[in-house]
Amino acid sequence: MWSEGTLGLTSKHLLNALLSHAPVRVSVIDRDGTFLLLSSRPELVGRNAFEEFKGNPVGLAHIRRALAGEDQRWVERIEDQFFQIQAVPVRDPEGAVAGIMLITTIVTEQVSAQEQLTDSEARFRHIMDSNMIPIMFWDEDGMVSDANDALLQLLGRTRAELEAGVLRWADAELGESAEADDRARAEILERGTCTPYEKELLHSSGARVPVLVGGARLDRTRSSGVAFIVDLSERRRRDRERDDLQAKLLQVQKLESLGLLAGGIAHDFNNLLTAVLGGAATALLSVPPEHPARPDLDNVLEAARRAADLTRQLLAYSGKGHFQIKPIDLSEMVRGLVALLETTISKKVQLRLELLPSLPAIEADSAQLQQILMNLVINGAEAIGDEAGTVLVTTGAQDVDEGYAGELFAAEQLPAGRYVFVEVHDTGIGMDDDTKARIFDPFFTTKFTGRGLGLAAVLGIVRSHRGAIRVYSSPGRGTTFKVFFPATNAKPARRERSSVEFKGSGLVLVVDDDASVRGAMRRMLTHFGFTVLEAENGREGVDVFRNRASEIAMILLDMTMPVMGGEEAFRELRAIRPDVPVILTSGYNEIEATRRFTAKGLTGFLQKPFTPSEMIAKIEPVLRSGAG
């Protein structure tokens, strides 16, 4: 055994050697506060600790409490260093406090690390409390150990449930995402994080919530982790709105394409029908009632009229139908159709009217409006079938804003303003969304037999009147069509009739690229006493007129021709003689045609196909008034 003698050292020397190499600083103070021993500053031995700590009231208070018998521990900062000081009472054999021992340890690194940890925790808590995204912590038992309010709101759970320890992550899981969840867990176990993936979580209400989930483990034991979640509900809503908008756009484009096709076909057919209808009608004017050919001519005329009706439906669908526009009281028009409608629909179907009196007038074609109403009422009655039911026709006026207008079927965005509407509601079987998406397609029908253009023609007529349609329907709850027309301040007017018992004279120039049309018009005009000049295009028509401008009483001018069209020819004809009456002929919409010409003095418009009486009804008032 070693001893003081063998080392040649005293106990005091051994103690000093030990303390000078210890990783801590040690000081001993007696009851009076005198330093008996200091490992780091031996020069203070014998001096009074109370005097040395006079400038450090915190340290002095701890020393006094230690001398009173209490263990003390505190941290002090001296310049850029942190020190942990422990004051331990030293007792004599009787247990009385004989002094204290101060043990001082440099803890600068520990304090810095703790501050960094505290700052990190504060930053993360700030992220949690900001509720920018839902965040949750989970443990090995699948319990949610912590979560922010965004996560609780996402799942429809409460903080009380979280604090009670009854919130399980599995309660929000759906079995449909089990495979993706297993892959994510495997990734977390293997590399500590997982690739974010989309899934659906279950809200406490039972609703599904689309989310994007990413996760990571928190420790090496792989028993706990954190999940970051992004709520995709708003993005999905925007996606649906975009898809709906794209579907509507495709529907509009499809309707426009079909409209162009229908309009082109109808235009060509109208040229053919002008020759057939005009020729048959002129022949009928030339033969006596007892002539054996008259029944055949009547049949030809009737067939031509039916064909003309079909082309009018095609033009109505394309938005280029011919209209005789005038102010109309929609309620009065509906009331005037009641008798016809009641004889058309099943006796089991009750037709009810709720018509608003004194409606603002609309600018519309009466015959086309009647077609709309007949179509909608008959469709409603057929949707009811053999059962008893009701078709309700309502009229009224409504202010339409931009938001409401965006939900309507229209050729273009309906401007906000005052509109008059007619609404047809039936108590029939209703329609699902797929059927509603196709009801305006030409020839689409859910009936056993086709009924022609049907609702496609209705939509075309409405679009050409700058109106719109809204459809409400669901299976088993019937269907409602609400048709809007712009209101006007004009008053409904009586229709003036022209006499067809007319005999004229003078020179008329017919300009049309179709020889059969020119021939039919020549025969009709000749029948009424006119002499006819013909030209097969606008350029030839201008040349003929230039040579005989003073003789020509009127010009019938086709709108669409090769070489030179009607609009350009009209300008040149009026440049030669500004007062010459010019009546435009076309298979297209009068509104579209006269939009180009009215401001420049077009005399009138004649829709193809037409009969001799319809033609003379346009010509007679012009020649009688001498209009130019």
Per residue in 174-190, pLDDT (tens digit) is 888 888 888 988 888 88
Inter-axis angle of helices 566-576 and 538-548, to 10 degrees?
10
Residue 582 contacts by C-beta under 8 Å, 6 or more apart in sequence? 554, 555, 557, 570, 573, 574, 602, 603
pLDDT value, residue 352: 92
Q: Are strands 197-202 and 208-217 parallel, antiparallel or unpaired?
A: antiparallel
pLDDT digits (tens, 9 = 90+) for 12-23: 565 566 665 566
Listed in order, the ranges of the chain carrying CATH 1.10.287.130 are 245-316
DSSP for 538-567 reads HHHHHHHHHHHTTTEEEEEEESS-SSS-HH
CATH topology of domain 245-316: Helix Hairpins (1.10.287)
Mean pLDDT of 53-62: 85
Of 126-140, 290-304, 327-341, 490-504, give the lowest mean pLDDT range.
490-504
CATH architecture of 507-625: 3-Layer(aba) Sandwich (3.40)
- CA distances from residue 11 to 18, 28, 46, 102 in whole angstroms, order as listed: 10, 16, 19, 20
Token pair recorded at residue 115: 């501050």
Q: Which CATH class is domain 131-231?
A: alpha beta
Mean pLDDT of 489-507: 64
**Buried-exposed string 461-487: b where 16+ CB fall within 10 A, e elsewhere:** bbbbbbbbbbbebeeeebbbbbbbbbb
pLDDT value, residue 2: 42
- The H or E element spanning position 354 is strand 349-354
Provide the residue type at 458 as one letter: V
Can you tell me which residue has the tokens 């975009």? Answer: 242
Of 337-351, 537-551, 592-606, give the lowest mean pLDDT range.
592-606
Question: How many whole angstroms from its chain centre is CA 41?
Answer: 82
Q: Are strands 389-400 and 349-354 parallel, antiparallel or unpaired?
A: parallel
Average pLDDT, the chain: 81
Of 42-46, 283-287, 310-314, 596-600, give the lowest mean pLDDT range.
596-600
> What is the share, in percent, of the chain residues with pLDDT greater than 70?
83
Whether 273 has a pLDDT exceeding 50, the answer reads yes
Question: Does pTM surpass 0.95?
Answer: no
pLDDT value, residue 500: 47
Higher-pLDDT residue of 513 and 500 is 513
Residue 513 contacts by C-beta under 8 Å, 6 or more apart in sequence? 536, 537, 558, 560, 561, 562
Of 137-141, 437-441, 498-502, give the lowest mean pLDDT range.
498-502
Mean pLDDT of 206-235: 85
Q: Is 114 left (phi over 0), alpha (psi -120 to 50) or beta?
A: alpha
Listed in order, the ranges of the chain carrying CATH 3.30.450.20 are 4-111, 131-231
pLDDT band of residue 116 (cuts 50, 70, 90) is confident
Of 105-114, 257-266, 493-502, give the lowest mean pLDDT range.
493-502
Tell me if the domain spanning 325-488 has CATH number 3.30.530.20: no
Listed in order, the ranges of the chain carrying CATH 3.30.565.10 are 325-488
Q: Which residues pair with 228 in a beta bridge?
A: 135, 214
Q: Which residues pair with 307 in a beta bridge?
A: none
- Report the CATH number of the 4-111 domain: 3.30.450.20
pLDDT band of residue 394 (cuts 50, 70, 90) is very high
**Buried-exposed string 581-603: b where 16+ CB fall within 10 A, e elsewhere:** bbbbbbbbbbbbbbeebeeeebb
Listed in order, the ranges of the chain carrying CATH 3.40.50.2300 are 507-625
pLDDT band of residue 544 (cuts 50, 70, 90) is very high
